[in-house]
Amino acid sequence: MKRCIRVFAAGGTMAAALLLAPVSSGGQESGTDDLARQIFETMLKVPGTRAGHRPVHAKGIVCQGTFEASAAAGALSRAAHFRPGPPVPVTVRFSDGAPDPAVADTAPDAGPRGLAIRFDLPGGDATDIVAMSHNGFVVGTGEEFLALQQAIVATDPAQPHPWPVERFLAARPRAMKFVQDNRAVPASFATEAFFGNDAFVFVNKDGARRAGRYRLVPVAGTRHLDAAETKSRSPDFLSDELKARLATEPVRFRLVAQLPDPGDPTKDPSLVWRDDRKTVDLGTISLTSVAADPATAERRLAFDPTNLTDGIELSDDPLPALRSAVYALSVKHRRAK
Ligand code: HEM
Q: Which domains does the chain have, with CATH numbers?
A: 2-335 (2.40.180.10)
For the full predicted model, state whether its pTM sits above 0.85. yes
Distance CA 216, CA 238 (A): 18
Distance CA 190, CA 158 (A): 39
44, 152, 327, 334, best to mutate for ligand 1 pocket (most atoms within 8 Å of CB):
327
- In degrees and rounded to multiples of 5, residue 116 shows phi and psi of -115, 135
160 CA distance to ligand 1 middle (Å): 31
327 CA distance to ligand 1 middle (Å): 7
Positive or negative: CA dihedral 177, 179, 183, 189? positive
* pLDDT, position 27: 56
* pLDDT, position 10: 33
- Tell me the sheet residues that pair with 258: 213, 279
Residue nearest to atom 25 of ligand 1 (CA): 323
Measured from the Cα of 331, ligand 1's closest atom is 15
324 CA distance to ligand 1 middle (Å): 9
323 CA distance to ligand 1 middle (Å): 7
Strands 209-218 and 194-195: antiparallel
Nearest to 253 by CA among 278, 221, 276, 225: 221
Nearest to 142 by CA among 337, 324, 301, 330: 324
Nearest to 151 by CA among 45, 48, 54, 53: 45
Nearest to 289 by CA among 281, 277, 300, 297: 297
Q: What is the pLDDT along the chain (337 residues), one digit of tens a residue?
A: 333 344 344 322 222 322 233 334 445 678 889 999 999 999 999 888 899 999 999 999 999 999 999 999 999 999 999 999 999 999 999 999 999 999 999 999 999 999 999 999 998 999 999 999 999 999 999 999 999 999 999 999 999 999 999 999 999 999 999 999 999 999 999 999 999 999 999 999 999 999 999 999 999 999 999 999 999 999 999 999 999 999 999 999 999 999 999 999 999 999 999 999 999 999 999 999 999 998 899 999 999 999 999 999 999 999 999 999 999 999 999 999 7
Measured from the Cα of 330, ligand 1's closest atom is 15
CB atoms within 10 A of CB 278: 12
What are the catalytic residues?
Answer: 57
96, 130, 197, 272, best to mutate for ligand 1 pocket (most atoms within 8 Å of CB):
130
- In degrees and rounded to multiples of 5, residue 224 shows phi and psi of -115, 160
